[in-house]
Amino acid sequence: MPSITDRLVDRALRRAHDRCARPGQLLFTGRQLYWETDRALLPLHRGPHRLRYTTRPLLSPGRFAAALARHPELPVLPDRVAPRPHRPGPERDLYDYAFPRLLVCQDPAIAGMLLANRLHLEGACPIVTPERLPLEPELLAAMARADGAVVHVLHDASPAGLELFLRVREHAGPRLLVRTMGLLPRHAAALHLAALGGQVQCGADELPAELPAAERAWLAGGRTVELAAIRPSRLLRTVLRTLRGGGFAPPARPAAPTRARDTGFLTWPTP
């Protein structure tokens, strides 16, 4: 007989699974389901939109894993994925044209989730993970052939995520525009996402100077927010809208986002 706590978690898990899959039978990772289950247990994210805050997770990963193990009928995508082999067909013209956009996704599991939901076909955008860096010269050349080609970097609100953005920008060189659609602390606060504390700390001066001091301090204090914390439907819609080049919400406070945007940062839609 499961304990009351287990029964509560099980119920929240099933509800979260249903929410993650909507609309249109979306596929999602175990980690995305973890965050949704946490929200189902304690819906602190439902606070007023005008308030900006992040939450802390209530559900322990171990208890979630145990609950998921009790429900093998609830499918999830894996959280750990091996690098994808590249096995194109024998035709030789793949790089003869132009790729106007590319997405580098920090989290291989999230990249797998985007691919499983066929976002690369929908947005006509290759999705690669940091393992594929440096990008092959043929691909860079095919991108350079498109006027205004953009490399988007989708990353966590974390020092590692920002570092990835800077690394991609350096690698892409001056001919390609590199933009981040990654999370920043302000986005996490606007979306009321749960933050992980106690992560690796760093010096605020190691973070991009364009970020407001408060956000640098927040990140330097060892807090991060994972991409997986965003509900799958929101993540997919936002990424697709950004790839297609529109639909950005105006910044709530012009000063800080403007500075961020100067370096390529873009805002997430306000909730």
Partner 1 sequence: MAEHHRRSTAAATAALPRSHRPARYTVVSLPADRRQAEPGLVAGPFEAGGRQVSAALLTGVPGFADGPFTVDGRTAVGEVTLHNRGELLAALAAAGRPAEPSCPDGELLLRCWLALGPDGLRAADGMFTLAVLDGPDLVLVRDHTGARTAFHCRTRDGGWAVSSSLRALRQRTDVDTGLDLAAVRSFLTFAYLPGEETLLRGVAELLPGKVTWLRPDGAVRIEPYWEPQATATEEPTNRHFASELRELLEQAVARRLPAGQDAAVLLSGGVDSSLVTALAARLHDRPVRTYSISFGHELPNELGYSGLVAAHCGTAHRVLTVPGEQVAARLADTVALLDSPVGDPLTVPNLMLAEAVAADGLTVSLNGEGGDPVFGGPKNLPMLVFELLRDDPSEQARADAYLHTYRKCWEDLPVLLTGAALAELAGAPHPRRHVAPYLTDHRMPSLLDQLLHCNLRTKGAHHILTKVERLTASQGVQGRSPLFDRRVVDHAFATPAALKLRGTEEKWILKEAVRDLLPDTVTYRPKSGMRVPVQQWLRGPLSELAADLLLGPTARARGLFRPDTVETWMRGGGLLLPRHGGKLWLLLTLELWLRAYDL
Binding region for partner 1 (CB under 8 A): 23-26, 84-94, 96-100, 115, 117-118, 120-122, 124-128, 139, 145-147, 233, 236-237, 240
Q: Which is nearer to partner 1, 166 or 177 (CB)?
A: 177
Q: How far is the CB of 67 from partner 1 (least distance, A)?
A: 26
Q: How far is the CB of 261 from partner 1 (least distance, A)?
A: 25
| DSSP bridge pairs for 179 | 152
User: For residue 268, how many other CB atoms are within 10 A of its CB?
Assistant: 22
From first CA to last CA, the distance across the chain in angstroms is 40
Q: Which is nearer to partner 1, 90 or 246 (CB)?
A: 90
33: left (phi over 0), alpha (psi -120 to 50) or beta: alpha
Q: How far is the CB of 77 from partner 1 (least distance, A)?
A: 15
Q: Which is nearer to partner 1, 85 or 198 (CB)?
A: 85
Single out the residue of 184, 267, 239, 229 nearest to residue 20, CA to CA: 229
Q: Residue 260 and residue 252: Cα distance in Å, rounded?
A: 13
Q: Which is nearer to partner 1, 59 or 151 (CB)?
A: 151
Q: Residue 222 and residue 234: Cα distance in Å, rounded?
A: 26
Q: Which is nearer to partner 1, 135 or 190 (CB)?
A: 135
Q: Which is nearer to partner 1, 138 or 206 (CB)?
A: 138
Q: How far is the CB of 235 from partner 1 (least distance, A)?
A: 11
- Name every residue whose Cβ is closer than 8 Å to that of residue 192 and which is 6 or more positions away in sequence: 44, 45, 46, 47, 53, 54, 55, 271
Q: How far is the CB of 122 from partner 1 (least distance, A)?
A: 7
C-beta of residue 125 within 8 angstroms of C-beta of residue 143: no
Q: How far is the CB of 109 from partner 1 (least distance, A)?
A: 15
Residue type, 260: A
Q: Which is nearer to partner 1, 125 or 183 (CB)?
A: 125
Q: How far is the CB of 148 from partner 1 (least distance, A)?
A: 9
C-beta of residue 263 within 8 angstroms of C-beta of residue 177: no
H-type alpha helices, the chain? 4-21, 30-41, 61-70, 108-116, 119-122, 137-144, 159-172, 185-191, 213-220, 232-243, 255-262
